[in-house]
């Protein structure tokens, strides 16, 4: 099973990653770590995780970034969701 974390380089993503690696004993090769700044995940890449770049502010970067993923741990923030939904609903009018 391939598990993705997005975003993976922040506080919550890093905590989730630590749990999966240290507590749940998930192999790094089973992880796809998605981040706005993939260079922050150099250590995880060296351990065997797949690193991909994506950014909520640039929707085109999301296309294909979850390819081959069986489970996604999507970390979102209420303020971001609210702001994004507001933009989308205003743009669709």
Tens-place pLDDT, residues 63-83: 999 999 999 999 876 555 555
pLDDT confidence tier of residue 27, bands split at 50, 70 and 90: very high
Q: What are phi and psi of 65, to 5 degrees?
A: -75, -15
Residues 6+ apart with CB under 8 A from 48: 27, 28, 29
Torsion of CA 38, 6, 63, 68, to 10 degrees: 100
Burial of 79 (0-12, 13-18, 19+ CB in 10 A): exposed
pLDDT at 12 over 60: yes
Paired strand residues for 73: 5
Residue 20 reports pLDDT greater than 90: yes
Q: What is the pLDDT of residues 28-63, one digit of tens each?
A: 999 999 999 999 999 999 999 999 999 988 889 999
pTM higher than 0.85 for the full model?
no
């Amino acid at each position: 099973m391939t598990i993705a974390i997005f975003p993976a380089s922040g506080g919550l993503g890093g905590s989730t990653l630590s749990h999966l690696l240290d507590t749940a004993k998930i192999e790094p090769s089973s992880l796809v770590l998605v981040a706005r700044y993939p260079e922050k995940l150099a250590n995880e890449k060296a351990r065997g995780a797949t690193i991909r770049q994506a950014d909520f502010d640039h929707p085109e970067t999301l296309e294909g970034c979850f390819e081959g993923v069986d489970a996604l741990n999507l970390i979102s923030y209420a303020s971001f969701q609210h702001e994004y939904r507001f933009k989308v609903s205003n743009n669709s009018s």
